[in-house]
């Protein structure tokens, strides 16, 4: 769906490993609803019993162990509620192939239809296209955009989806990419407010989005090009 009145779901999962084909399962799902690129406050969060031990490597990532997950519902018990929450909305996911692989494996084991990859909006791919050669992990993008991820000591599906929602909105141009440009009436704003809005200088400049490592790498590249490098004219 494009244009206004668009619902999107920002989604993240935690798992027991990397390959559902080798017996790995989902242990947590978190999702955040966006409407016209703005958070609505509606979320989905569920811990899931994977019916198998959690390897130490996975526990080190998300901190969800066997004792904690033992009394949580099976994926079969939450599948319909999860599907009802996401509906037919696009799914915004960081490294979408990974999460979609697991979700479709879980759905397949229940003989439920797979989620088409065409529904996935991969923020990792967007970041790599927009900033080629730069780190594109969720933590790296938080640093680039000044998104607070201080609570992310371990991966958590709901926290990560909330953080990813902020990163996604920055990747597509800010929290209101079409502000002042929509042709139709806004249900959430006064018409006279929209028409009178004008861009003004920021009272506080945005923080630089280039990291120290990126700046040093660029300086080294320019230095290697010699004194005649075009970049030297703009220093």
Q: Which residues are catalytic?
A: 155
Contact 12, 40 (CB under 8 A): no
Contact 49, 67 (CB under 8 A): no
End-to-end CA gap in the chain: 44
Radius of gyration of the chain (CA): 21
Phi-psi bin for 37: left (phi > 0), alpha (psi -120 to 50), beta? left
E strands present in 48-173: 91-93, 120-122
| DSSP state letter for 151 | T
The residue to which tokens 């993008």 are assigned: 141
Hey, what are 99's tokens?
A: 């999460």
CB atoms under 10 Å from CB of 19, counted, come to: 12
């Amino acid at each position: 769906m494009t244009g206004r009145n668009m619902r999107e779901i920002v989604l993240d999962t935690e798992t027991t490993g990397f390959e559902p084909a080798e017996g790995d399962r989902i242990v947590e799902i978190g999702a955040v609803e966006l409407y016209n690129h703005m958070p609505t406050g509606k979320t989905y969060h569920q811990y899931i019993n994977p019916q198998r031990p959690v390897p130490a490597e996975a526990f080190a990532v998300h901190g969800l162990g066997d004792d904690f997950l033992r009394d949580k519902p099976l994926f079969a018990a939450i599948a319909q509620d999860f599907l009802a929450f996401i509906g037919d909305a696009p799914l915004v996911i960081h490294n979408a192939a990974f999460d979609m692989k697991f979700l479709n494996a879980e759905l397949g084991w229940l003989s439920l239809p797979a989620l088409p990859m065409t529904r996935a909006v991969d923020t990792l791919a967007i970041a790599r296209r927009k900033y080629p050669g730069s780190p594109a992990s969720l933590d790296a993008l938080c640093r680039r955009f000044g998104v607070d991820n201080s609570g992310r000591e371990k991966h958590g599906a709901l926290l990560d989806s909330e953080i990813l929602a902020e990163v996604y909105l920055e990747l597509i141009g800010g929290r209101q990419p079409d502000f002042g440009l929509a042709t139709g009436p806004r249900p959430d704003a006064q018409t006279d407010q929209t028409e009178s809005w004008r861009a003004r200088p920021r009272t506080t400049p945005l923080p630089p989005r280039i990291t120290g490592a990126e700046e040093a790498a660029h300086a080294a590249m320019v230095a290697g090009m010699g004194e005649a490098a075009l970049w030297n004219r703009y220093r």
